[in-house]
Structure 1
C-alpha cells in the first residue's frame, strides 16, 4: 500500500519518536515536534506510539491512496477534506482506494499529523524512520516529500484491530493558544546574566518570530544584559559567547543578549553560545505548537518539578489511550 503525493505541501516529512543515542556524534534526535499529537493520531488508527506519521507544516499535502486505508489527522487545527468534502479532525477516517486527502488553511499552531493504520513504512536509519533533512538521512530519501512520491504504508498491526472509540475526547486535545507559559530549568550559564538580565528573561514577554523551524525557534522581546567579564581564550568577544559546550535539546540561547532561541529536535548538539536555561521535556510539545506572534513567558522551575511534570504528561498520554480503548 502507498500514498501517492499529488502536491507535497510546504514541508511534509516522515517522523516518529526520533532517534536517540547519536547526539554525541552530532546527529540530533529528530522526530515529531508535537509528540503528543502524533501519538494520539497513532492511537486512533490502532498503531503503537512508535509508528511513523507524516508531519505537515502550515500547508499540507494532497495525496491519494492506492488501497483502502484508515487515517487520522491530529495536531494544529486545520480543515481536513476527503474528495473535497470536510471531515473532522481528531477522528478516525476511512479512505477508499483512490480517495484524495487534502487540507485547507491552518487555523492555529504550525504543524499537524497524518497517522495511517500500519504506519509510514520507510526504512529505519539508526533506529528511526524520522527525517533529518539537514543530514539527508531517514524519512523518505532523507528529504521532505515532493510531488510524484509514492510513500509506502505498512501492514496493519494486531490483525487490523482498532480502538473502541473513533474520536479523541475534547479534554485530551491540546490547546493551540496565542499565549504560553513555558517552564524552564535555569542553567548552565544563567550566572553570566546581570540581575536585570535574569529579570527580563523570567518576567518579560517574548513573542515567537517567523524565524522558527525544526532546528530552533527565535523570540523577540526585552533582551537581556550580560555581566562584563574577561572572555576565556576561544570564547569570542561577545559576553553571550562561551568556549564550545554541548547543547541539551530545549536549550535557550540569547546571542548578543537580544533574541532567545529555543533549540528543538533537529538542533545541533554543541556550539559556542551560552545556554541560560532549558525548556523542560514536558513543555517541548507546547513550544512546538506556537505560531509566530505567540506571546510567551518563561517560568523557572526546579529539576524535581520538571520530573513531576514529565510523569504527569506520561499519565495524560496513558489516560488518553485508555479513553480511546487503545492498547500499547
Structure 2
C-alpha cells in the first residue's frame, strides 16, 4: 500500500481511459499525456496502459508501506526519496517506509508516477481513471491508501536512462486533421486559422483548453454531434476550444479541426500564456 501524506494539486489516478461507454455520456478520461504515462510503465516492464498517478504542477508526498520499484516521467517536479534527489525516466528502488516528495517545477505541467505491477485502485466501467460522478473520488486526498501489486517484485536493471522525446515540452506546433465542419469555412478563414498563433488562456483543464484569441465565425451551430479528445470547436463568439481527456461526448459547436494524438500529449504539458500554432496533416 501507499499512503498519501500530502495530495498536491489535482493529483489523480488515471490509466488510458474508458472506452465503449460514450453512448451513455461517460467521458473517455485517462492520462492527459499518454506518451509520458506509457513511458513510465514501459520502463518498469508494465503494460503501457496500467494505472498511474498523474500530478499537475505541484507534486504530492507519499509514504510506501512495502518494497517496490517506481518510475517518474513527464513534467520535472524535482522528485526526492527521503529528501534525496532521484532521476526521472528510470526505475527507482523503493524500500518500506520510504517517503517520495517533490519540489520545484522545472518543466512541463503534468508528471506521472508508475509503480511496478501497476496501481490497483477500484475499476469502474473498465477503467481505474478517476472522474467526478463515475468514481467515488475525482482526486487523491490526504490519508488515502493506494493499493499496489506487491506480488510482482523482481530485480530491474537500474542503470539505463531512456532518451525522452522533448516535443511535448519544447514544441509549439499542434498537428491536426480537418474536422467535419472545416470545409464550411471560407478559404480566407481556413488560411487565417492555420497561419495564426494562439495563446493558451487561463481557462485550461482536463476538460478543455481555450485560446485567448478570437476567430471570425459566421458558421451556424450544428446539430448535437459526437466529439472526442482533440476536437477543436469554434464557438459563436469565435473562440477556439480544444477538448481534452475529460471532455463531454457530444457538442453543438462546429468541429473545425481534430488534433493528432501526439498533439494532445503536447498541449497537456503547456502553460497559460504559451503560444501554439496548427499544422494540417493529410489523412
TM-score by length of 2: 0.93
Shift of 1:61: 0.7
2:196 aligns with 204
Matches within 5 A, 1:1-328: 2-133=1-132, 135-137=133-135, 141-157=136-152, 160=154, 162=156, 164=157, 166-170=159-163, 172-177=164-169, 179-221=171-213, 223-227=214-218, 239=219, 241-303=221-283
Q: Output one character per residue of 1:74-98: Cα deviation in whole Å (capped at 9) or x when no partner.
A: 0012201111121111121112111
Write the distance in 2 (CA, Å) between the matches of 1:160 and 1:143.
32
Q: Output one character per residue of 1:259-300: Cα deviation in whole Å (capped at 9) or x when no partner.
A: 311111110011211111110223221222222222111111
Shift of 1:257: 4.3
Shift of 1:127: 1.1
Instruction: Return 5+ residue gaps in structure 2 as ranges.
Output: none
Shift of 1:143: 1.9
Shift of 1:253: 0.9
Q: Residue 87 and residue 122 in structure 1: after superposition, are their counterparts in 2 closer, same or farther (change >3 A)? A: same
Write the distance in 2 (CA, Å) between the matches of 1:111 and 1:205.
23
Structure 1 or 2: more helix by fraction: 1
Shift of 1:243: 2.2
Given that 1:37 and 1:174 are in contact with CA atoms closer than 8 Å, whether structure 2 keeps it comes out as no
Given that 1:212 and 1:218 are in contact with CA atoms closer than 8 Å, whether structure 2 keeps it comes out as yes
Write the distance in 1 (CA, Å) between the matches of 2:255 and 2:247.
13
Paired residues in the alignment total: 283
Write the distance in 2 (CA, Å) between the matches of 1:73 and 1:45.
10
Given that 1:216 and 1:263 are in contact with CA atoms closer than 8 Å, whether structure 2 keeps it comes out as yes
Shift of 1:166: 4.5
Equivalent residue of 2:192, what SS?
A: helix
Given that 1:51 and 1:119 are in contact with CA atoms closer than 8 Å, whether structure 2 keeps it comes out as yes
Write the distance in 1 (CA, Å) between the matches of 2:244 and 2:140.
21
Write the distance in 1 (CA, Å) between the matches of 2:90 and 2:206.
26
Q: Output one character per residue of 1:44-95: Cα deviation in whole Å (capped at 9) or x when no partner.
A: 2231112211000111110100112211110012201111121111121112
Given that 1:56 and 1:112 are in contact with CA atoms closer than 8 Å, whether structure 2 keeps it comes out as yes
Q: Residue 210 and residue 156 in structure 1: after superposition, are their counterparts in 2 closer, same or farther (change >3 A)? A: farther
Given that 1:179 and 1:295 are in contact with CA atoms closer than 8 Å, whether structure 2 keeps it comes out as no
Given that 1:111 and 1:289 are in contact with CA atoms closer than 8 Å, whether structure 2 keeps it comes out as yes
Instruction: Return 5+ residue gaps in structure 1 as ranges.
Output: 228-238, 304-328
Given that 2:200 and 2:271 are in contact with CA atoms closer than 8 Å, whether structure 1 keeps it comes out as yes
Equivalent residue of 2:41, what SS?
A: helix
Given that 1:240 and 1:254 are in contact with CA atoms closer than 8 Å, whether structure 2 keeps it comes out as no
Q: Residue 168 and residue 288 in structure 1: after superposition, are their counterparts in 2 closer, same or farther (change >3 A)? A: farther
Equivalent residue of 1:210, what SS?
A: strand
1:231 aligns with none
